[in-house]
Amino acid sequence: MASIIDSRIFGDIFSDAKMRAVWSDENRTAKYLDIERALAKVQGRLGIIPQEAADEIVKNCNIEMIDWAQLKAKTEQIGYPIIAVVNQINANCRDKLGEYCHWGATTQDITDTATVLQMREGLALVEADLKAISDSLADLSRTYRDTPIIGRSNLQQAIPITFGFKMASILAGIERHRERLEQLKPRVFMGEFGGAAGTLASIEKGAMETQAGLMAELGLACPPIAWHTVRDTIAEVGAFLALVGGSLGKIAMDVKLMMQTEVAEVFEPYAPGRGSSSTMPQKRNPISCLYIHANISVARQHAAALMDAMVADHERSTGPWEIEWVSLPEIFCLMSGALKQTKFVLAGLEVDTVQMRRNINMTHGLVMSEAVMMGLGPFIGREYAHDLVYELCRDALKQQRPLVEILAEHPEINAHVSRAQLDAFCDPANYLGQAGVMVDQVLALRRA
């Protein structure tokens, strides 16, 4: 095993079979053939090459006719696979009609356009996964819209929120990713056909018509100018996937923390033996979350490498281009694994609302100190109320008594508010702010 993605043991944990197929040698080579076929078809129609030649080339652009051993050997000899593919098409054509294959094109035209076609397929899988994740988060947001849970700041208990609010805040980020994906498509799904240095000098007549026809055949946008060494669109896809990874990592981080024994508010879906320890039978370790974290971390480094690949020399570069060959498939495959694991976690997330309430209550009301401060503010001033409640919180901790009892005994407080009012201040259900409204807003703005 040279790569975890291709491992017979780990491959389907760290990646997804459909995404691996997108970036396989077979699919990449099939894309080369698709482009050469479309190019011949268009140039035959325009009279740039003989129609007889176009028909013969189209017939022989067939993945079943590829000699893989020969393709490998030729690629190692030349350094690029395109010439090796064209050689095989030419050899399979009768009467030297294959000489018209690849007319006016250059290796990078075919390679870049194939990469765009692969990215289109890969991003379609990402889009479907984001939709599934959005669906699960929407269900959780809706179901637990009004379910109190403690909010945490610097890993300390802060004030109550709702579990629906927690899920909806993540959902909002996923929805922004879905919007970003729609926005980048017109920029990224753009083919390449410029010839040697991008000027299409090799086609005397009908060059722009060939380019337009080729892109129409492939369903891609027509480039206004060659982008052989202007690689922002490739880097943008890597950056987009890295951003998605950050959001998946946020989900994994929170689930890991909430699975801790001392917290125990949510759990990854249960399956017999999943997450067990070889030595500690009681353990229920997070599993999917660990793989999500690992995948997104490596994918992020590959995204940075794509930024390096942008620093290309002149009109055809001396090396940075090949960085993409290594990093882009890895990003897509690793992110497919992270997306798959996230879908699994969210679709079957086990939620313990009783434990959530128990954790809110564990400080005996201290987490309601802000609510008390704001309730007392109109009577004794907010700043003074802050300092007073701060001291009374310390007293409650020292005496190991509920905060409401300490508050009720203080003369400056009971002179202004009743015990019933203090009980209301200290009720978590009364201090959820606009959580429900915000959940509703996110759900209303969600894409179908």
117 and 237 Cβ atoms separated by less than 8 Å: no
Strand partners, 266: 351
The residues, ordered by sequence, that sit 6+ positions from 426 with a Cβ below 8 Å of its Cβ are: 365, 368, 371, 372, 403, 404, 407
- Give the Cα separation of 91 and 96 in Å (integer): 8
What number of other Cβ atoms are within 10 A of residue 255's Cβ? 21
Task: From the candidates 152, 284, 316, 401, give the one annotated as an active-site residue.
Answer: 316
Residue 297 annotated as catalytic:
no
386 and 373 Cβ atoms separated by less than 8 Å: yes
Alpha-carbon torsion angle 359, 364, 367, 372, nearest 10: 150
140 and 54 Cβ atoms separated by less than 8 Å: no
- Give the Cα separation of 399 and 397 in Å (integer): 6
Give the DSSP letter of residue 417.
S
3-state class of 275 per DSSP?
A: coil
Residue 342 main-chain phi, psi, to 5 deg? -65, -40
Task: Give Dmax (Cα) for the chain.
Answer: 106
39 and 214 Cβ atoms separated by less than 8 Å: yes
Tell the residue number behind the tokens 């067939």, with chain if given.
Answer: 62
Q: Smallest Cα–Cα separation from 369: which of 397, 333, 341? A: 397
Task: From the candidates 24, 277, 297, 418, give the one annotated as an active-site residue.
Answer: 277
418 and 380 Cβ atoms separated by less than 8 Å: no
Residue 24 annotated as catalytic:
no
- Which active-site residues does the annotation give? 277, 316
